[in-house]
Structures are given as C-alpha cells and as structure tokens.
Structure 1
C-alpha cells in the first residue's frame, strides 16, 4: 500500500510476527442459517518497518474455507492518507471467472467468461474464479465501516492480475486497521456456497443489538412492481395485507408514494394479522441528524422497518452515512433493507437488523427495462457469487413480467434458491392466488432457514440448493439452457426415504404441474428451457403441508380516537388496561393506571398540527397489535392556509393528494405550479378525480375562502367539486377545463371536519386544484383561547 505517497512495499523490512487463534461464535438471525455456530481461525500478524521508521502490519487469517488479509498501522501519528492498495491476485492459475462490470449499485448483469478472454476494466465484487479443476476462489471484502471506503476489482488482462481499487482517490486514515478484510473463500462449489466466512470476519454483534429478538425474517407482500402507483392507495395496501394473511406471510412493504396521513391506519390494519409494515425512503431524506429524526416518528406509528434507496456510492462519506443509519435503526428497533446499495460485507453479524440488500439486477428491471429481460444465465450465477456474501433482495417470482424468457418453474425455483432476510415477492398477490400451485408453495415457505446445502450445479448450468426448516427440506433450482432432466443427489440431506412434492414446468400445458412421490437417493426432475423447479421434502409420515391462514384479532381500544389538546397541550386517553402507549418524538405519556393516560404535546407543536399516539399490546406471532389516536392542537391564527393543516384521510385517483402544486402523476411531489385558465396559484391542494380528503378545522374556524378549477395539465376534462362540513353539503360546483376558477366564501362556524371531494365527469380523470384555500378564525373564540393559554 501507498501511504502519504510512501510505497510501503519498497524499503520495508520484517521486524516481528505473532500467531494466535481466533475462536468466536455466530448467532445469525437471518441468512443461510439461523443456527448458532462456532468458528476458529489462525491469525498471523506480521510487522514491518519502513525506512522512515513507520511500522505497519499485515494481518492474515486462515480458516477452513478461506483466507483473508488486511493492513494496519497501529502507531500512526495523527491523520494519514491511504493512496493506493497494490495487493494483487495472480490470475494465471485460473481458467474461468464469473463477474459483473462494476457500478456503484451493482446492477449490471453477471456473466461467465474464460480468463483468457477477460478485458481490462473495473469489476464488481464478489468475483468467482475456477482453477481449471474442482477448486474455486470467491474474492470479496468484509468488515467495513465509515473509517474506509469500499473497493472493487481492477483486472489487468495482459498482466493477468486482479487488484483492489478503493472508491475514494485518497482515504483519510487513523491508527489501527486501515483496510477492510480482503476475503478469498476457497474450496469446491458446495464449500463456497455454504461459507459464512464474510460474516465470521465481521465484528461481533454490536452492543446495541445484543437483544435482536425483535428482528423478524420472513416473506413480504409488495405492490409497487405489479401496480406502480399503488403505494399511494390505502385500499390497495389493505388488499395486499388480506392476501398476505391468507398466505401466512409476515410483512408488507409500501414503496415510493406512501403518505403519512394513512400509514398509521395500514399499520394498525396489518398488525391484526401479525403482519408488520415497512416503508420506502430515499437515502438523502434521512441524511443528517435532523432528517434522521423521521425514523423515530415512523417507529412511533408502529412501523417495523425501512427500505432505503439510491445510496449508489462506495465512498467513505457514504459509509459514514451507513454508520449513522445502522446505529439509529438499532436504537429504535427498525429493520432495514438497503437498495441501490453496496454489497453485504458482514453487517448481518454486527447489525442483525439489516435483513436485506439489493446490489443485484433483479425483477425491478422489468419495470423500467422490459426490453431487456433478465436472463437465466444471469440468475444461475447468483447463488455462486452475490448471494454467498449475504442477503439478496432480488424480489423473485415475476410471473407476469413482460418479455420474460425464463420459465415459470425457473421463477418459482428462485423462491428457495435465492435467500434474503425478508423475501419481497415481486408480483401481485392476485397473480399468485390465480396459480394455486404457486400460492401453495409460497404459503409453505418458512420465515427463515435452519441450514443451507448446495446439492448440484455449476455457475454455467444450474444451481440446485436445499434449505432446511425443522424436519422439512425445501429445494429450489434455476437452470439455463435446453430442456433436460436434472439428477439431484439427496445424500447430503441425510439417509432415508423422503416424501416429495415437486412443482415444475409442464411441457404439454405450458404451465406448472405438481407431483408427489416417495424418493430416496436421487431426485430426478425434468426442467424446461431456461427452467427450474421447487420442491418440498418431508420424512415419511410427516405432513408435507402445514400452512394456515392468519385470522384477524381485535385491536386494543382507545377513546377518543380524535381529540383536541387543551390549553396546556394535554389530552386524556382511555385504552385497554393491558395496552401500552407509544408517542411521537418530543411527546410524553403518563400512565394514570387502569387504562387511563395523560398525553402531553411539546410546546413547539404548531397550530393545527397533530400527533399520532399508538396504542399497542401483544398479538399474533409475537407482533404488537396496534390502534391509534390523533391529538390536534387547535388553530387560533387569524388566517390559516388549509394546505398547512394535516389531512385525517384521503382518497385520490392518481398518487397522493398534493400540497401547493397540481396533482401531476402518480408519484408524490410530481406536480407543477397550479394553473387554472392561465391564472397561477401558490397554495392549495392538487387532486385527481375522483378524490376526497378530510381536514380537522375546529373549533374556532369562521369562514372558508378559496378557488377551485381544473388545472391546465388535463385538457378536455370536467368534474364536480363539493365541500362538506361534518358530512353536510356546504358547496358544490361543476368545473370545465379552460374556465376560470370558481370562487367561494363559506360559513364554517361549528364545523369540525371539512371534506373536500371531487367527482369525475369526463371520460378521463380531471386534475382539480383547490387553490388559495384558507380559513379565517372566529376571533372572539380565539381571543378567549389565547387568554386561557
């Protein structure tokens, strides 16, 4: 390595060395196995001194299934600069490799290539190499944090070398270990696939995660892939919960487009079935201490995890961001799934709340690039490369993908052959229910695996993996190439006779078919072109099928569900005696006994704002079942733009109801400046017909003033707009695109909840702007309130 422009490989001499044995235990929560295990490695520490007097070290660990090397400078004075790592791997002994072209989010296709045909260039880790016989080497990294940057491989084809290239041109370092472990897993393919060396080299579980019992691996329903804008639709998310409960799944992921108005409601609805809700976010929305506080708010609603997207960097600065997210999610009790991310480098051991990474070209690509289907060759390589180093959120089983070239059996086989802490299934739950064999298999899959074994295959032909849960083995196969019979040896699963249920492609019908038989020794399965299969094996006399739908249980009681805070910022709640309260950050709850609580809002809470109080008690499958109350600080200002107040509920044809912009499309914040017949407006709401949303305005509101019309972005449309107060019609008008906005000035004294609704009149949806809409306050009541305060 070169440090501060000093090449330490020149003019350095060895001065001492020591050998020790490292003995540790793994307690995995998810992954290839959730069975605790011990491991032992020999460690050599070789100390060198440079002619300048700088001492530096090579640390080498040797395990049964590989070796790892890192560098350290134990007595570095102050801060140094790590310029380049010149460590090289000689490629001349290898005949073939399986690689991918490097990009910072690892979503290029993986491919196999003879080493003699490799090009100069940058390649992403992990890389699998074959020595010409039955020995393979997997090259990757482990144990990285915000003290260093990630690396990729640089291959010099003419010199036949591979070296590590860190992301930053120069990395600021301090004393101690200055590089991650460079890892070389060595052995036959079964040894490589089943290795846990990357996790074994990572630091032990962080003290913040010593109790990881709340981390829950499993299966998730996910609507974004099949219905792009459905994440903004509460009724669609409830449907996915309903089917997930029938299939016995554990999680629901709500992707881009969710709106905080109804997230507590879906959390409560899902919790009745023991289903936990995870929310998508983009990394820079939780970057920095202030933005990171959003996580505490989401957790206070009962959210169980987050999917963080678009990090797309290996820099030291980005790893510092990872450090902050890892610590905060551990503190709050949030599971985390990293997308647009780096590859796993051992965090599953140190931070077991990390239950997934993307870092793979998976089913998402059908959404954006349906003219570039995922190939069977790309899929077959994954269990021998990417999935070895950790959880892989490929989002499998995209049965309705346009242009797909893999068979249905291939897609189904991925549900077992690919592993992720939480497996998010790509397709619509309706697509799975429409295929009873698929629904049966997905309902039987366990939440986690006790053991993983590779049974047969190569990265160029097929991957057949077996994963055990209790006394049952689940087998998943993905294959590339022509139709054929795959012989799957069962010896590694133990001696004896097995009853089997196999789902594979049926050549005659062109769909899936299932068969049951008693097998021992070898399982013979016919697969289609670019095919695959999935199977369940159970001992003779044991039940093959064990899943049962999850029924809803009652939520804890809370009264009132909607209340105003008094002049001191307090409200009283009565809840089920066996329930506890979870309040937003900055709020406080005092238990008065017998189910009586006093909740106090922070003094900084602005007028009209609300806090969601979560009431929870133990429920299905160890998951808290929850209910919610909303506590509101009354509005007493003279004039209040309605768009500054929270919604209590909404329904909108396309995406969320937008604030201070037109509706735009189906994504949040995708509208434009509101424009009605050429007149632009700064404030208001943008909706798409049909729509409806509720706003709490009481008790001091006097009049509602504003304009309503159809935005310029939807020509040739018409609609009806209505305003209701506590369910009573206060105003209605017919709207036509191109006409000037209709103005209104409505008496809303005595109204508590205002409902703004639109109805569709044209063949296509109209985008309606509730523009420049504001409340005026009954000042006689407001003055009294101010005096009380």
Structure 2
C-alpha cells in the first residue's frame, strides 16, 4: 500500500530542488551587485529579476512578454540585515489541486520557486504563468519595517476596493495621493493588466497601499507579516478573474480535516422578503414565511434559506441571547422542517452577540441544532484584530461543520477557501441589497474585475420584482438594473453561496429566469470569462455540476450588442435557451420585459445578444 501511495504521489506531483552559492558582486558596475538571479514563470513569459544596489539595497523588476511593467523597486525588511543572501534555493512544482468547490473541478498547480536566505530572514518568490508572488519569512518578535515598493513603469490606470461604496477609479497612478485598499487592478494597455493583492494572511494587519501624488510608486503602509504579496497578470482582465493564484498560495487543509460536507449553492433569504404582500399573505421574518421559502427552495433544487438579523432579538441589543432569545423556538422548527425537504438553514450572528456570549459554545450549539452555516455581521476591532477574529471564527465553523459568510466591512478574501473550504463568501463589495447606497451598473462591471479577484463575494443579486414594493427592509432607491441583468449577475458573481433576495411568487412570474437561477448547480466544473472590460461589460460562462453550461452577460449604463462564441462546448448539438432584455428594458425604470429564444447550437456557433442600458442576458445550454 505504501509503495502505491508513493507512485500516485509522483504521478500527480513533480518537485525538483537545487541550491546555489550566494551571488558575487558585479565587476563592471561597482555601485551595483548583479545577481545571477532571475525567476521565470513555467511558460517563460513572466520574469522577476533581482539585483543589489549599494544605494537601494535589494531591488526587483517584473516583466511580461519581455516588457518591463514594474521597474527597479525596493524589496526586503529593515533592521534584519540588508546585505547579500548567504544561500539561494530553487525548486519547481508541477501538481494538481482538486478543490472541494471553486471556479473549476481541477486546477493545475505549477510554479518555480526561489528562496533567498539572509540568516535573519528569508525571501521566497514564486512564479506562476498568471503572476508572481513573494513573501518574507521572519520571527514575529523581530518587528521590522517593510521596504517593499511597486514602482510601475508608466502612469497606468487603476481601480481600488472602496468598502461598501463604488470602487475608486479609473484613476491615473500619478493622481493618487493617499492610502488605497486592495485589490488594486491596473490597466497598462489593451493587452496588459495587473492586480496587486495579498494571499495567505495568517496574522496581522491586512494590506494597505500608499502613494504620493505625481508618482507611480506604491509602498506598503500596513505592518509587515508573512502574507504573500501578489502581482497578478493577464493579457485580458478576464484572465485575472479566472485565476486561482491566491488560493494556490494558501496551504492545503490540515490532513485531519474533512470538508466533504461543504456544499456550495444558491440560497433564498428572509431579509428582503419582509413586508411583501401576496393576496392575503404578508411575508415576515417568521416561521410561516420561512416554510414558504423552504418549500420554494425544495421545489427548485435551491440548497439553502438564510435567516438574517433579529431572529434572537435586536441584533445590537446587549441582552440578545444568540442561543435562547427571540424566535429561537421557531428556528428549531424551521431547521427540522427544512431537513425533511433537504434544505439547509443559515443563521445570522451579530458581533455583539458573538462577543458577549461564548463564541465556541454558540457555534457548537448552532451545529447541534442542525444549522448549515452562519452569516456574521458588523465585526468590530482594528484591521489586525478583525483578521485574527475572522480566522478564529472560520476555524471554529470548520470544526463544527458550519459554512461562514462575513458581512459589513469584512477582512478582504485572500485565497483562504483552499485551507478552509467552509469560508464560502464575504461582502467585500458594494452589495446590491444590503447597504444604503444604490449600486450603479458601472460599479458591478468594475467590481467583478477588482473585488472579485480577491475571492468569493456576497452581492445579493437576483431580484425578480424590480420595484420592491412594500418591503420592510427595501431600499429607498431605484434598483438600477433589468430583470435579465439581475439574473445574469447571480451567475457572474463568484460565490460559494449565491443569496437571492426575492419572494417565490415573483420568481414564478418569470419561469425562464427561475430556470436559469435554479440551474446553477455547484460546485462548478469549469468557469471562463469569455470577454469583458473593466467598468464596461463582462461575459461569463460556467459549467454546472450536471454539465449544463450557463452564460451571463452584463453591461454598464450603455446598451450594447455582444457576440458570444461557443468554442468552449464539446462536439455535438445542444439546446440553447437565450433570455435577453426586451426592447423597452432599461436600468432607469422598473421594466421587467424580456425576450426568450430557443435555438439549436454547437461549438462553431456565435450567439449575438442585445443588452439594454444597465441590463444583461442569460443563456442556458444543454445537450
């Protein structure tokens, strides 16, 4: 048996290691020590070059396809030695990652690695085909200062995360005169795109970038930690959307952890249904409405119902007991009822209750009740405190078989779903229906190229009634979308739980839209951003677990026609259901007009769709 395991390991993984002596000083330039150090991506198209300057110390540059995109930039840590490394180690890895869930079923894990050993600390660099990452390994008690720079080789255009508001950007690098939060997405030109983020943030303060006006150099304003600093690269922005670089930089799960219970899927939600009137029934956040939602979910193979705030008392109330308070008896009843329908129940937990009552006892109790997951809201504390508390809660949820979703200014995703697949989503964005400001069409088609590069997002898209009349928690603003645009967003937004906000009756009014949403059976077998441009539009294709292909297209405030090639299909004939905006649809008015087309297609076909202003299109393809 042991021999068989060894053979299987080498079938899937190939690792080579070799060491080098420390590099010598350059003779032709006494002020510069030229390392014989370059690390290239496996395909040879990305290069990370290291040199040593008597003025700046250790420096690096980054190039793609022989073009320098980041020029000489500082690297290293102060107070831990600024000389040459005493040892250099190289290795290459060629392996396969099979995620529990994600953008695709099988992910190649191929990279070259370079380690510089300075005795007091190490710098590790990895080169993948879709980016470069480097990290500092040092003793946490040393508390050094970080020298890292990103000295961009031009005044490129950038976008940044901006909390629960629209993203910052487009902004020229030289116009920035402040701190910025990642993800930092950069357009060099029509054929070169970059993104700056971090991966595997095991402790400490999340990444903060800083720049001064009239410069194109960004530095690190956050305290040093052992997270990977990541430079993502793509010849299109869609290549970065499809990347797994951040997850691959995180460690695999502990061998004693079983995550086979983690099941991604669509969830209905009780927060936005409250107040909706249908004939003589008024929806509330209580057992009768919950049962109607569970029945609807079961009928359409929707996996979850999420119960939001106030079920155990006022969410910010200091005496609201998350185990005994409020409607806890009804919660027991709905969990048991949902079990008979094979629907899981998520429970909301506010940070007030999470801190005033023992968090592990609370989570264990939810697990014992049979809950499927928790939505954790309004976490308090400094960024570093929030990071470490988020990790602690995620680990406890894994221990007690609970999925987790963090809302209200959460710590940014950093690929943690590889180590903890139960970390299925975060509200690291301006959500459609869980904030107090309107989500503009251009913001959505920016966020998917900025925020979504960090990881799965909870955006609450998928309205079937664009007026949201009578809702207790309804937005006091226009929804700024179309029916097709809303449905397409549910597919495009990568998340381990896709939370849709409307009542069953409104979805039943539009059977084709409901069919599109109900067909999003996860985990995905494959995902591909077919085309798109930051702030303009995106076309995304995903293959469901039953091999059905779904395509979603969304545009900004401009209407547009898009050609969608079906080259990703295997040979054979398929049935396509095409749902697109009607001729009078627009984000400026609550118009639910759609056009539906049935068509036979194959891999040689190109489907043309028409998107209304702020609208979208949905395509379902089956054999």
- Structures share fold, TM-score greater than 0.5: yes
2:335 and 2:371 in contact (8 A); partners too: yes
Higher strand share: 1
Structure 1 segment 197-346 matched on structure 2, within 5 A: 197-209=245-257, 211-227=258-274, 232-258=285-311, 259-287=327-355, 290-311=358-379, 315-340=383-408, 341-346=410-415
Query: Aligned in 2, Cα 1:390/1:423: closer, same or farther, shift over 3 Å?
Result: same
Matching residue of 2:234? 187
Q: How does 1:57-136 map to 2 (within 5 A)?
A: 57-73=122-138, 76=139, 79-82=141-144, 84-93=145-154, 95-101=156-162, 106-115=163-172, 118-136=175-193
CA pair 193-273 structure 1, distance change in 2 beyond 3 A: same
Judging changes above 3 Å, is the alpha-carbon distance between structure 1 residues 69 and 284 closer, same or farther for their aligned structure 2 residues? farther
Change (3 A) 1:41 1:411: same
Aligned equivalents of 1:31, 1:118: Cα separation in 2: 36
Residue 560 of structure 2, aligned match among 478, 484, 493: 484
Alignment of 1:522 onto 2:600: no
In 2, the alpha carbon distance for the partners of 1:80 and 1:62 equals 28
- Deviations 1:300-354, CA, capped at 9 Å, x for gaps: 1111111111126563333332232122212211111111211211211001111
Q: CA deviation at 1:374?
A: 0.8
Secondary structure at the aligned position of 2:444 is classed as helix
Separation in 1, partners of 2:286, 2:547: 41
Q: Kindly report the root-mean-square deviation, in angstroms, between the aligned alpha carbons of the 2 structures.
A: 2.6
Q: Does the residue aligned with 1:535 lie in a helix, a strand or coil? A: strand
Q: Compute the displacement of 1:62 (Å).
A: 0.4
User: Structure 2 unaligned runs (5+)?
Assistant: 1-56, 59-76, 277-282, 312-326, 469-476, 586-590
Q: Is the 8 A contact 1:287 1:321 kept in 2?
A: no
1:373-392 per-residue CA deviation (whole Å, 9 max, x = no partner) reads 21111101222222233211
* Matched pairs, number: 508
Q: Distance in 1 between matches of 2:284 and 2:416?
A: 29
CA distance in 2, matches of 1:351, 1:20: 26
1:21 matched residue in structure 2: 92
Q: Deviations over 1:358-383 (max 9, x none)?
A: 11111234xx53xx421111101222
Alpha-carbon distance in structure 2 between the residues aligned to 1:472 and 1:324: 37
- 8 Å CA contact retained: 2:307, 2:346: yes
Q: Does 1:501 align with 2:577?
A: yes
Q: Does 1:37 align with 2:107?
A: yes
Task: Encode CA deviations 1:534-558: one digit per residue, 9 max, x unaligned.
Answer: 11112xxx3xxxxxxxxxxxxxxxx
Tell me the alpha carbon deviations over residues 399-437 of structure 1, each in whole angstroms, 9 at most, x when there is no partner: 335412222221111021112101110222332223223
- Stretches of structure 1 lacking an aligned partner (at least 5 in a row): 50-54, 172-177, 543-789
The alpha-carbon deviation at position 29 of structure 1 amounts to 2.0
1:441 corresponds, among 493, 499, 516, to: 516
Q: Distance in 2 between matches of 1:324 and 1:482?
A: 44
Quick one: distance in 1 between partners of 2:356 and 2:109? Answer: 38
CA distance in structure 2 between the aligned counterparts of 1:163 and 1:289, rounded to whole angstroms:
40
**Distance 1:163-1:245 versus aligned 2 partners, 3 A rule:** same
Instruction: Give the secondary structure class of the aligned counterpart of 2:290.
Output: helix
> What is the rounded CA distance, in whole Å, between the counterparts of 1:60 and 1:457 in structure 2?
30
Match of 1:513 in 2: 595
Deviation at 1:269, TM superposition (A): 0.8
Q: Please give the alpha-carbon distance, in whole angstroms, between the structure 2 residues aligned to 1:406 and 1:486.
A: 18
CA contact (8 A) 1:455 1:490 kept: no
User: 5 Å matches for 1:265-664?
Assistant: 265-287=333-355, 290-311=358-379, 315-340=383-408, 341-365=410-434, 368-369=435-436, 372-398=437-463, 399-401=466-468, 402-469=477-544, 470-494=546-570, 497-508=573-584, 510=591, 511-519=593-601, 520-538=604-622, 542=623
Matches within 5 A, 1:672-751: none
The worse-fitting range, judged by mean Cα deviation, of 214-223 and 186-195 is 186-195
1:584 maps to none
2:189 partner SS: coil
Distance 2:386 2:380 in 1: 9
Maintained 8 Å contact 1:409/1:512: yes
SS across alignment from 2:221: strand
Q: Deviation at 1:228?
A: 7.1
In the alignment, the residues of structure 2 paired with residue 335 and residue 10 of structure 1 have an alpha-carbon distance, to the nearest angstrom, of 43
Q: Could you give the per-residue CA deviations for residues 590-644 of structure 1, whole angstroms, max 9, x where no partner exists?
A: xxxxxxxxxxxxxxxxxxxxxxxxxxxxxxxxxxxxxxxxxxxxxxxxxxxxxxx
- The 2-side partners of 1:491 and 1:441 are apart by 21
Distance 1:208 1:108 in 2: 40
Q: 1:155 to 1:432 in 2, by over 3 A?
A: farther
